[in-house]
Amino acid sequence: MRFARSVGQAIGANLAIISLAHALSPCTQISDSYDFVIIGGGQAGLTVGGRLAEDTNHTVLVLEAGENGDAYRERIDTPAYSYFDSLWTTPLNWKYYTVPQPNANDREIYWPRGKTLGGSSAINGLYMTRPGELEINAWKDLLGDMEGADNWSWDSFYAAMKKSENFTGSSDAIAEEADIHWNTSNHGLEGPIQASYPGYTFPQVGYWSQSLESIGIAISENMYDGENWGAEVSTSCINPSNWTRSYSRTGYLDPLPDNGNYDVLANAYVTRIVFDNSSSADNLTATSVEYTTDNGTTISSVNVTKEVILSAGSVGSPAVLLYSGVGPKDVLSDAGIDLVSELPGVGQHLQDHFSATVTWDTDSETAGTIYYDDGADKDNELFLSYIDSAVAYVNSTALYGGNVSSMESSILASIDQYAPNTTYDSGVIAGYKAICNITAKNIFNGPTGIIELLLMNSDSNGDIGITAALQHPYSHGRIYINSSNPLDYPVIDPNYLYNPADDEVLLQGIKMARSVGGASPLSNNLTSETAPGSSIQSDDDLISWIRGAASTEFHPSSSCAMLPKDLGGVVDANLLVYGLANVRVVDASVPPIALSTHLMASTYGVAEQAANIIRGFYNGVPLATSTASGSESDDGDSSDGSSTATNSSHKSTSTGSDSAPSNNAPKDKTGLLSSICMFLVLGFGLSM
Ligand SMILES: Cc1cc2nc3c(=O)[nH]c(=O)nc-3n(C[C@H](O)[C@H](O)[C@H](O)COP(=O)(O)OP(=O)(O)OC[C@H]3O[C@@H](n4cnc5c(N)ncnc54)[C@H](O)[C@@H]3O)c2cc1C
Ligand SMILES: *[C@@H]1O[C@H](CO)[C@@H](O)[C@H](O)[C@H]1NC(C)=O
Ligand SMILES: *[C@@H]1O[C@H](CO)[C@@H](O)[C@H](O)[C@H]1NC(C)=O
Ligand SMILES: *[C@@H]1O[C@H](CO)[C@@H](O)[C@H](O)[C@H]1NC(C)=O
Ligand SMILES: *[C@@H]1O[C@H](CO)[C@@H](O)[C@H](O)[C@H]1NC(C)=O
Ligand SMILES: *[C@@H]1O[C@H](CO)[C@@H](O)[C@H](O)[C@H]1NC(C)=O
Ligand SMILES: *[C@@H]1O[C@H](CO)[C@@H](O)[C@H](O)[C@H]1NC(C)=O
Ligand SMILES: *[C@@H]1O[C@H](CO)[C@@H](O)[C@H](O)[C@H]1NC(C)=O
Ligand SMILES: *[C@@H]1O[C@H](CO)[C@@H](O)[C@H](O)[C@H]1NC(C)=O
Ligand SMILES: *[C@@H]1O[C@H](CO)[C@@H](O)[C@H](O)[C@H]1NC(C)=O
Ligand SMILES: *[C@@H]1O[C@H](CO)[C@@H](O)[C@H](O)[C@H]1NC(C)=O
Ligand SMILES: *[C@@H]1O[C@H](CO)[C@@H](O)[C@H](O)[C@H]1NC(C)=O
Ligand SMILES: *[C@@H]1O[C@H](CO)[C@@H](O)[C@H](O)[C@H]1NC(C)=O
């Protein structure tokens, strides 16, 4: 049975046929059945999809809720537009809000997330930083002696991250002005994602590292090989051959040859995974995936012969599991969903980077003044490749000096008290304690950065800002649902600042941001502090300001955590969901620890490693014959002669009807909140 009505674009081996303005050709239908059905064509989904489809023994389908993005391609492609013509205002953004946050003045915090091919990698701020060796090894240590745990050691994960990358240094002139340092041997040089630096910069970017160095935070040359502390101008996912954004669609989808075994369907909103109820109750087999292309008016279904791979992101993946009846039994019964498989950890362990920005007036030219005051370079291609990328990862020694161990002790003492009270399961609580314990002992008490500082040079009012972002929250939240309608948004509760250890660390981060702004040479370009302003000085006043001003760095993770089941885990070391025979999660929801980095590089690492594991698992396993019911071919240009798969459908991006899901998230209601949102949309806090 086939309900999907869709318009498809066939992309052949020849890149030249990708004409963005005329990307659609009519009436490609997907097949009835695929070996792998991937839910979510975002950053991780297209990465794992592209890698699985390289094996022509497999048929692969990606179902993406959002539209294909072609109508917005110039805005996606142009790095600086992630500030100046943000996709936040378009249907390519889910526009979520958290529930009111009691420790942040009851504010509902805006959570943009990408909703298009490429997902959040299509709408984000292009920073390409990496996590550290100690963090990845702490993740592996949490797995104990679980089979496959070694795939998540630093050495293995580092190789997976590098595999996705193709690094190119900057020009000498940019390197000199921006004080950029790199060590090529720490980078991948053959991967599909282009990592480089903008073709335009500002003197204050160069002052960044000097100011940090003057207060003891050295420039780091080895941030990419696991030593993730110190100051740097980070790489960005920029293709330096034409100054465009490099993201999962351009890296892992557009250039693929058409081998006839890979379909990508946009506007396909997955509502449920369906299980064979004759399969073992503690090892359920997923047999099909249901989705809608018309906002729920009709439900379509596609059969699965090998596996379902959930790559719907830190919000979407737990939501799809919950709507499929897999999750905590209290959440499911409150929402009116039949329990299919009890798994208390689904949606729990949610961690996010909470952040706030100190701002100053300046007489210097900034990217913001060039763009908003119609500077001469406003439409210059090089200027439009400029993106903020000066960062520093500041560790506990830099923040606490001789008081690191007393701070560590008070964090350890806080753990029992601030375990989440939103679970009936002692395993989830044990998992919270294990994550916080290892974070305090192996990460806080060591060289890893615990606060990120970011230089913000693109604000609409021409200010310069320094953001401080908490990297390892000891407050964990959750994603859950309160409806039985899968088109209703899940409930997002990051539980910001529940544990006072987070207030304390973020407070020190804000003070450090102020110190950097006060350090020469950057200080020579900053006039008065505009936020929080010189009247806010005491710790209490600063914490009150943080409660009213802080927001997300857009890095939610860990909501389908890889952990032992008795620590509230959702997936095992092979990414398989506990209790399900053939469902894996592959995205930013998997790492059990918030990592001290922007999440793209680690998410590519998760997806590359997933592809290694899955392809390793199926190597030599013959293709199931039931997949031979392919759709008609309509492009006929598979010129590479490698179209050997039994399924004749083609790698294609397709659009169904252009429908929006319901949005039951509360909208901003007051002028104040709207102006905060406008401030965020137009200025600081955007696009990390
Ligand atoms: C505004 C913003 C700025 C950011 N800045 C940076 C940055 O500069 N550097 C960095 O490294 N990281 C950044 N991040 C974080 C990073 O982009 C994400 O952590 C990462 O891309 C997440 O990848 P993912 O595959 O887990 O999810 P996503 O890329 O979000 O993909 C999930 C996909 O699943 C789809 N989906 C969800 N539900 C369903 C469903 N029911 N059916 C079908 N499809 C579904 C979504 O539409 C989406 O396309 C930023 C994030 C945001 C939102
Ligand atoms: C999908 O699977 C179901 C259950 O196994 C089966 O009844 C149905 O015929 C399958 N549909 C197709 C199109 O293969
Ligand atoms: C990594 O995963 C693959 C595939 O499951 C497996 O063959 C391999 O043994 C694992 N490696 C380690 C070191 O666990
Ligand atoms: C990597 O980047 C270089 C430019 O530095 C380019 O010539 C090469 O084609 C790129 N390789 C890949 C695989 O994208
Ligand atoms: C560059 O990285 C390599 C590999 O990590 C390391 O051996 C080398 O010392 C680094 N070079 C510098 C100058 O730090
Ligand atoms: C930029 O260059 C890459 C090849 O390096 C190409 O695939 C892509 O289509 C180009 N983007 C645009 C918008 O021209
Ligand atoms: C910015 O600071 C630099 C370095 O101290 C100085 O040379 C320059 O004049 C300053 N620019 C402005 C506009 O103040
Ligand atoms: C959990 O604790 C918070 C803060 O103490 C409280 O407001 C909330 O009501 C508690 N929730 C439950 C379910 O007990
Ligand atoms: C806490 O972490 C340390 C260091 O990783 C470990 O040795 C210890 O067993 C952990 N304790 C608990 C209770 O998890
Ligand atoms: C902490 O950070 C500082 C500054 O970046 C660095 O010099 C130091 O080596 C780091 N490690 C420790 C344990 O302090
Ligand atoms: C679950 O079933 C699959 C095949 O359907 C099998 O490979 C796997 O070993 C089973 N897992 C458990 C834990 O029984
Ligand atoms: C396809 O499967 C066969 C065995 O069934 C195996 O020999 C071959 O290597 C596989 N192809 C790929 C591309 O992995
Ligand atoms: C989609 O359906 C939901 C109910 O499930 C409804 O609230 C929403 O308005 C619909 N959206 C559109 C664009 O029709």
**CA-CA distances (angstroms) from residue 605 to 53, 158, 185, 590?**
18, 7, 18, 11
> What is the spatial distance between Cα 661 and Cα 679, in angstroms, rounded to a whole number?
26
Q: Is the CB of 402 under 6 A from ligand 12?
A: no
Q: Whose CA is nearest to atom 4 of ligand 7?
A: 521
> pLDDT-derived band of residue 29, with 50, 70 and 90 as boundaries?
confident
> What is the spatial distance between Cα 647 and Cα 156, in angstroms, rounded to a whole number?
33
> pLDDT-derived band of residue 277, with 50, 70 and 90 as boundaries?
confident
**Which pLDDT belongs to residue 6?**
28
Nearest CA to 247 out of 627, 604, 513, 519 is that of 604
Q: Is the CB of 434 under 6 A from ligand 9?
A: yes
User: Which residues are paired to 265 by β-bridges?
Assistant: 63, 654
> What is the spatial distance between Cα 569 and Cα 184, in angstroms, rounded to a whole number?
37
Q: Is the CB of 147 under 6 A from ligand 3?
A: no
- Residue range 551-556: mean pLDDT, rounded: 98
CA of 242 to the centre of ligand 6 (A): 6
CA of 302 to the centre of ligand 2 (A): 8
Show the DSSP H helices in 130-280 as ranges. Answer: 133-142, 154-163, 172-178, 203-214, 248-252
> What is the spatial distance between Cα 555 and Cα 41, in angstroms, rounded to a whole number?
18
Contact (Cβ atoms closer than 8 angstroms) between residue 288 and residue 301:
yes
pTM for the model stands at 0.91
534 CA to centre of own chain: 35
Residue 682 has pLDDT above 60, yes or no: no
Residue 12 has pLDDT above 80, yes or no: no
> pLDDT-derived band of residue 437, with 50, 70 and 90 as boundaries?
very high
Q: Is 555 a catalytic residue?
A: yes
Task: Confirm or reject CATH 3.40.50.300 for domain 7-21+28-72+250-349+561-655, answering yes or no.
Answer: no
Nearest CA to 235 out of 162, 302, 301, 294 is that of 162
- Residue 404 annotated as lining a ligand binding site: no
**Which pLDDT belongs to residue 620?**
55
Residue type at 542 in one-letter notation: L
300 CA to centre of own chain: 28
- Residue range 653-677: mean pLDDT, rounded: 34
> What is the spatial distance between Cα 108 and Cα 98, in angstroms, rounded to a whole number?
5
pLDDT digits (tens, 9 = 90+) for 505-553: 999 999 999 999 999 999 999 999 999 999 999 999 999 999 999 999 9
For the chain, what is the mean pLDDT? 88
Q: In testing the pocket of ligand 3, which one of 52, 137, 151, 584 has its CB within 8 Å of the most ligand atoms?
A: 151
Give, rounded to a whole angstrom, the gap between the first and last alpha carbons of the chain.
Answer: 43
Q: Is the CB of 622 under 6 A from ligand 12?
A: yes
Q: Is the CB of 183 under 6 A from ligand 5?
A: yes
> What is the spatial distance between Cα 63 and Cα 42, in angstroms, rounded to a whole number?
10
- Residue range 268-295: mean pLDDT, rounded: 96
- Residue range 485-495: mean pLDDT, rounded: 98
User: Which residues are paired to 341 by β-bridges?
Assistant: 326
3-state secondary structure 46-83: HHHHHHHHCCCCCCEEEECCCECCHHHHHHHHCCCHHH
Q: Is 598 a catalytic residue?
A: yes
Beta-strand ranges (E) seen in 282-371 are 285-292, 300-310, 326-327, 341-342, 354-362
Nearest CA to 473 out of 450, 446, 445 is that of 450
**Which pLDDT belongs to residue 683?**
37
Residue 401 has pLDDT above 90, yes or no: yes
**CA-CA distances (angstroms) from residue 542 to 119, 348, 429, 673?**
35, 30, 31, 20
CA of 183 to the centre of ligand 5 (A): 6
Residue 302 has pLDDT above 60, yes or no: yes
**Which pLDDT belongs to residue 28?**
57
111 CA to centre of own chain: 12
**Which pLDDT belongs to residue 622?**
43
Give the closest ligand to the alpha carbon of residue 665: 13
State the Rg of the chain over Cα: 24
Contact (Cβ atoms closer than 8 angstroms) between residue 349 and residue 475:
no
Nearest CA to 338 out of 349, 350, 320, 323 is that of 323
CA of 314 to the centre of ligand 1 (A): 8
Q: Is the CB of 451 under 6 A from ligand 10?
A: no
Contact (Cβ atoms closer than 8 angstroms) between residue 30 and residue 632:
no
**Which pLDDT belongs to residue 30?**
92
Residue 688 has pLDDT above 70, yes or no: no
**Which pLDDT belongs to residue 619?**
81
Residue type at 40 in one-letter notation: G
> pLDDT-derived band of residue 340, with 50, 70 and 90 as boundaries?
very high
Q: Whose CA is nearest to atom 11 of ligand 8?
A: 421
> What is the spatial distance between Cα 641 and Cα 31, in angstroms, rounded to a whole number?
21
**Which pLDDT belongs to residue 678?**
30
**Which pLDDT belongs to residue 221?**
87
Tokens encoding 504 = 């304390």
Nearest ligand 7 atom, CA 520: 5
User: Which residues are paired to 235 by β-bridges?
Assistant: 128
**Which pLDDT belongs to residue 652?**
54
Residue 466 has pLDDT above 70, yes or no: yes
> What is the spatial distance between Cα 45 and Cα 611, in angstroms, rounded to a whole number?
11
